[in-house]
Chains A and B, each alone.
Chain A
Amino acid sequence: SKDDEAHDEL
């Protein structure tokens, strides 16, 4: 899903 691809860490 999308959130898997987006890098959620800085």
Chain B
Amino acid sequence: MNIFRLAGDMTHLISVLVLLLKIYATKSCSGISLKTQELYAMVFLARYLDLFSDFISLYNTVMKLVFIGSSLAIVWCMRYHRVVRRSYDRELDTFRYWILVGACFTLALVLHEKFSFQEVFWAFSIYLEAVAILPQLVLLQRSGNVDNLTGQYVFFLGAYRAFYILNWIYRYLTEPRFTRWISCVSGLVQTALYADFFYYYFISWKNNAKLQLPA
């Protein structure tokens, strides 16, 4: 474990907590893409298949449970919670994400570290996470003004993988045989997809103005 990866995991945890706060405090999920939440639930379920087979550390196991549990709880809340579900932007959140799921799974069948059930699903989860934010970014552009908590949620979600890139550089420089091309390339693509969001987020922060994404 290094400081970059810890910062990344903590930033990811913060993004989850901010989202839970927004939904719990405002009893609303307006501006949040259910599609992105469902993709993230798939990402964690596919990636943490080794939850019970490979024990890395208590920290690793606890964080996996937190990410799986929170993503499923948010999907449940947005679909079935009496009050929250009413504020879901159903007509704006129309990204046909099964295309992404199919493409990522096909890619995982071709490109993986080892051709085993667990490793193919692991690679699938890495590719899927890289594009999982797309429905959310599309929804932000369509829904115009973005409330603060939603903007902070997306910001932290994007920042966490940027910390992981620093972690991979650090491990590449300090560990003799460290090569994680699948994670690195996907992580770069994932972070790049946030580039324009980060730009508009920075502008809104500098001008102390509401976050506005161009339609």
With beta carbons under 8 angstroms apart, the residue of A6, A7, A10 that contacts B67 is A10
In whole angstroms, what is the CA distance A4 to B5 when docked?
18
* B: number of interface residues (CB 8 Å): 18
- A5 nearest in chain B by CB position: B114
Question: Residues of B contacting A6 with CB < 8 Å?
Answer: 50, 54, 56
A-B residue pairs in contact (CB < 8 Å), sample of 9:
A5-B114, A6-B50, A6-B54, A7-B54, A9-B164, A9-B167, A9-B183, A10-B12, A10-B63
Chain B 92-127: CB-based contact to A (< 8 A → 1; otherwise 0): 000000000000000000000010000000100000
Q: Is the interface of A mostly helix, strand, loop or mixed?
A: loop
Task: Give the size range of A's interface with the partner.
Answer: under 10
Shortest Cβ distance from residue B53 to the other chain A in the assembled complex, whole angstroms = 9
User: Smallest CB–CB gap between B65 and chain A, Å?
Assistant: 11
A6 to B56, CA, bound (A): 8
B167 neighbours in A (Cβ, 8 Å) = 9
